[in-house]
Amino acid sequence: MTQRFITQLRVRHYEMDALGHVNNAVYQHYLEQAAIEHSESLGFTPDRYRALGGLFVMRRVAIEYLRPAVAGDTLEITTWLQEMRGVRTLRCYEIRRQGEPELIVSAEALWVWVDEATMRPKPIPEGIQEAFGQLIKR
């Protein structure tokens, strides 16, 4: 089974839109933060990525907004890797209010490993593939 990483965050008032809900654009920040925390939990900090000469950048994201979240909500963000191959990683996400089963957001993002100096895609280093590859359902 694919291993999932879960993190929580509290919605802040300044993240609201005119309707009093989390602004749609803010959800992408939540997704990025969950991916960063997941990487760090496996020992892949920004310094370690720099030492490897590259970093992951989000190339494409698809977000399905199902229910609103509001200031003060504690959200649970679940993320997992669906696939890692070549220069790309497909990462999935689910966002819920903590302790509730209903999805607020479902998302999928394509992340690409790029050379830090040139910002051009290059193959994901073997060490990263080994660490993250163990998390992917085969």
Quick: pLDDT tens for 16-67: 999 999 999 999 999 999 999 999 999 999 999 999 999 999 999 999 999 9
Average pLDDT, stretch 60-79? 98
Residue 121: strand, helix, or coil:
strand
Query: Is the CB of residue 63 less than 8 Å from the CB of residue 28?
Result: yes
Average pLDDT over residues 97-102: 97
CA distance 60 to 109: 6
Smallest Cα–Cα separation from 12: which of 74, 96, 72? 72
Residue 130 confidence (pLDDT) = 86
Q: What percent of the chain has pLDDT over 70?
A: 95
**Residue 67's closest CA among 126, 27, 40?**
27
* pTM, two decimal places: 0.92
Domain 5-133 in CATH 3.10.129.10? The answer is: yes
Arithmetic mean of pLDDT, 103-129: 96
Using one digit for the tens of pLDDT, what is the confidence trace for 86-98? 999 999 999 999 9
The dihedral through the CA atoms of 114, 48, 39, 81 has a sign that is positive
Average pLDDT over the chain reads 94
